[in-house]
Amino acid sequence: MKDNSYSAVMSRRNEIMKQAIGIDYTDFELDGIHFDYERMMRETGYTLEEMQEIQGKTGVGNTPLLELRNLTALARKLAPEGKGARIFIKDEASNPSGSFKARRAANAVYHAKRLGYKGVIAATSGNYGSAVASQAAMHGLKCIIVQETFDSNGVGQPEIVEKARKCEAYGAEVIQLTVGPELFYQFLLLLEETGYFNASLYTPFGIAGVETLGYELSMQCREKYGKDPDVVVCTNAGGGNLTGTARGLIKAGALDTTVVGASVDLSGLHMASDEQFNKKSFTTGHTGFGVPFSTVPDRSDVPRSAARPMRYMDRYVTVTQGEVFYMTEALAQLEGLEKGPAGNTALVAAFSIAQEMNADQIIVVQETEYTGAGKHIQPQLSFARDNGIDIHFGNPVDQKPGVNIILPRHPNLIKAIDLDMDKLRVSLIKNAIAGKSFAELSEDEINYLCLETKKDKAYVERVIKELQ
């Protein structure tokens, strides 16, 4: 009998992961703090053409690029003369499971079947669970989804409960847990007991699956408008959405496109706090995931995460819960498109940023998601009100996460707020070097940090010396 205590299972995590993914991550480790990211992506993933073929066989990808003419017109009314870029969305809700996560899941599940696994497991409270369940059903594999759903009183967020319903509809077994450290423990136990494949969000083939999105987006813009998008906005949580999209843009040759990350500002709320778990009205696309996963990318469920957003991000902005609810309603009533909350986080940012840009420029929100049941505005706001959150119209800048949700009383109050990219880069470097002195770091390690922060050698060396 194996020792299945928490400490024993956690000590076996690398062994369990190796068996459940089929990747020996030590092959890519280099001396010191760095590893060969590009070789890992190249040798364990698929080419762009292979991914397009894999996804196409299950109806994933080739989603439409839609111009939001009415929201563009509204943005231009609020912008200075000559400003107000054309706003577009890539309608990823058209994928089989209703989100861009189908691109990640298509690759992961295909890879699992190719390697001979009988089933797949994913730990997620988001759209990825239903995407994995959908793809598993198509490929005839078993599927288990592990969710962090409830607080200690057994109260579950409507959005998470809705996603569980969708996973079960596809035939998956859903295991729901209370908030806390047991999620990863239970996930590892299940991988070890079942011998199933770890369909992690953060594997090379999972991230590479999103590259087709960035590539498609660029090609569609060129075909229809004769140019690449000037700005692409990605809702940012764990970083895979932005990483994959940016890599796809690069493969398309869209090197001048500015990549913007957008997260809902939930500063002050702790994601692992039982008391605060239900004080948030968004389960993903918020700073509780976006900031820590940007500055410590390897905090994921694999030894080395393929999601490394700071390598590709040019700008990072936050928006408020109230602005996202407002924009969700505006998208439905002005454009006739009812979509879920995650993609509308990026749409709020795009609406604001478009007003800074020239009218002949193009800004694209690179994903939408399905809505329904617990993902809809009304159950989310009702849930917030039941949890003592004050909801009113006013200026969103006055919001206090966990205390109130302020819907903008006028669209001119919708403003994306820039996060300090330098502060994030410094935090990433500090976490990466873990107390090492400048003299202890090799030139290769310095170059690795340059890639991780998208900055030059002089910048990295200066930061390290200042951290001493």
- The per-residue pLDDT for 88 is 98
Query: Helix-strand-coil percent breakdown of the chain, rounded to 5?
Result: 50, 15, 35
**How far, CA to CA in Å, does 209 sit from each of 101, 285, 305?**
9, 19, 14
pLDDT of residue 93: 96
Q: SS3 for 391?
A: strand
Q: What are phi and psi of 464, to 5 degrees?
A: -60, -45
Q: Is the pTM of this model over 0.85?
A: yes
Q: Mean pLDDT in the chain?
A: 94
C-alpha closest to that of 340 among 376, 314, 373: 376
Overall average pLDDT of the 208-218 stretch? 97
Q: Render pLDDT for 24-65 as a digit per residue (tens, 0 to 9).
A: 899 999 999 999 999 999 988 789 999 999 999 999 999 999
Question: How confident is the model at residue 158, as a pLDDT?
Answer: 87
pLDDT tens sequence across 250-278 = 999 999 999 999 999 999 887 777 788 88
Mean pLDDT of 217-230: 97
Residue 8 pLDDT more than 80?
Answer: yes
Please say if the pLDDT value at position 342 is more than 90. no
Q: How far apart are CA 468 and CA 466, in angstroms?
A: 5
Residue 454 has pLDDT above 80, yes or no: yes
Residue 403 has pLDDT above 90, yes or no: yes
- Percent pLDDT > 90 in the chain is 79
Inform me whether the pLDDT recorded for 142 exceeds 80.
yes
Distance CA(145)–CA(406), nearest Å, equals 34
What does the pLDDT read at residue 323?
97
How many CA atoms does the CB half-sphere of 53 hold within 13 Å?
A: 5
- What is the reported pLDDT for 18? 87
